[in-house]
Every structure is written in C-alpha cells, then in structure tokens.
C-alpha cells in the first residue's frame, strides 16, 4: 500500500460525523490537511516516517480535540493509540486498541448508554482482565463530553468497517488469483492430453 493510499484510508475513518475533503493548499509533503465545508475544523494527518502516521482533529478554534497514532505493517494499517478531549476541555485521555475493541463490540450511540451497558455486563465476565478492561473503558468514556464520545464511537465503527471490507476484498482477490492459477494449470493439462 503506497503512502497516499494509506493517508486516504486513514482520512476515511473520520468521515462519519463530518465530511472531510483534501485541501492541497494547506498540505505539504509531511502533513495532509482535510477541511470541512462551512467550518474551521480540520483533520490533519502527519507522516512520522515511512510507516508511522498521526491524525489529529481540531475544533472551530484550532484546538486539538483528538489524536490517533497509526503504523503501517505489511500493508495493514494498525491503530496504536487514540486520545480524546476530556470534559475539562484541557486534557486528552488515551484509549488503547483493546479499549477501542470493547467500544466497537459493545458501544451504543450515546456515551451514557455505553457505560451503563458495560457496567451491567462486567460482573458477568468471568475473566478478570477482560472484566477490568470493560470497567476501565467505561470509566474513560465517562470522562468524555458527549460530542467527543460520538466522534470516537463513529471513528471506531468506521475504522472497523473499512478494515473489515478491505480484509474481505483482499481474501476475494487472493481466491480469484488462486482460481485463475488452478484453471490455467487445468487448461495446460487438457492441451497435453489432446496431444497424446
């Protein structure tokens, strides 16, 4: 996967609540900037080497409200960390990929519904590390304002859907290539049979 395609994929994760479009006037070789119509909010994706990327969102005043770090490993984009603005408006709280997996699996449209849901199911989880993960995720979500939670939930769901669709397309492409290769081998064998 080339660098520009990787950046486009990452930008696609954030097109849930807002529609971001590439702004070549603000972009350079290290930073790709996306803007939204009628808003000063930005999505900026910075290259941190050949295989590391940092995406951050700003609000209308240019304050960073979200920052996510990604790596590219063997053509696969992996999220390493996600940070979102807390209720205090001054601090970003970090979510691990495992906590985001909990959000992807059990998240609801509203943060309060998600935390209630996680706290209801936590006592039913027999595995202590998994139970603690669910409770820790709920505690962190409680620290987010609702608009920050909605953006995190939307981005997490969209990332999962895009990665899942890419995985399915990759497997289908591999199956087609294998089928072509097998069919080609059978044609060669049939031609050989006719010659005998």
Is the separation of the CB atoms in 83 and 63 below 8 Å? no
Q: What are phi and psi of 44, to 5 degrees?
A: -125, 130
Q: How far is CA 149 from the centre of its chain?
A: 15
At what angle are helices 111-121 and 97-106 packed, to 10 degrees?
Answer: 100
| pLDDT tens column, 120-136 | 999 999 999 999 999 99
Whole-model pTM: value is 0.78
Give the mean pLDDT of 130-159: 95
46: left (phi over 0), alpha (psi -120 to 50) or beta: beta
pLDDT in the model for residue 74:
85
pLDDT in the model for residue 38:
87
Would you tell me how many other CB atoms lie within 10 Å of the CB of residue 180? 10
Q: Of residues 171 and 91, which shows the higher confidence score?
A: 91
pLDDT in the model for residue 195:
47
167 Cβ contact partners less than 8 Å away, ≥ 6 residues apart: none
Structure-token pair, residue 23: 């702004």
Domain boundaries, the chain: 3-195
């Amino acid at each position: 996967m080339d660098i520009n395609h990787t950046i486009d994929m990452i930008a696609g994760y954030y097109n849930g609540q807002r529609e971001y479009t590439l702004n070549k006037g603000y972009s350079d070789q290290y930073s790709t900037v996306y803007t939204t119509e009628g808003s000063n909010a930005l999505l900026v994706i910075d290259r941190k080497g050949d295989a590391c990327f940092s995406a951050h969102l700003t609000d209308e005043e240019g304050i960073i409200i979200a920052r996510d770090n990604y790596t590219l490993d063997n053509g696969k984009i992996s999220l390493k960390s996600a940070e979102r603005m807390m209720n205090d408006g001054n601090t970003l709280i970090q979510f691990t990929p495992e906590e985001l997996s909990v959000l992807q699996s059990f998240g609801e449209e509203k943060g309060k519904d998600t935390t209630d849901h996680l706290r209801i199911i936590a006592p039913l989880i027999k595995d202590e590390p998994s139970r603690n993960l669910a409770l820790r995720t709920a505690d962190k979500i409680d620290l987010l304002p609702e608009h920050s939670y909605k953006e995190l939930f939307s981005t997490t769901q969209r990332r999962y859907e895009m990665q899942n669709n890419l995985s399915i397309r990759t497997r289908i492409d591999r199956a087609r290539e294998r089928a072509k290769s097998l069919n080609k081998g059978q044609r060669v064998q049939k031609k050989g049979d006719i010659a005998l």
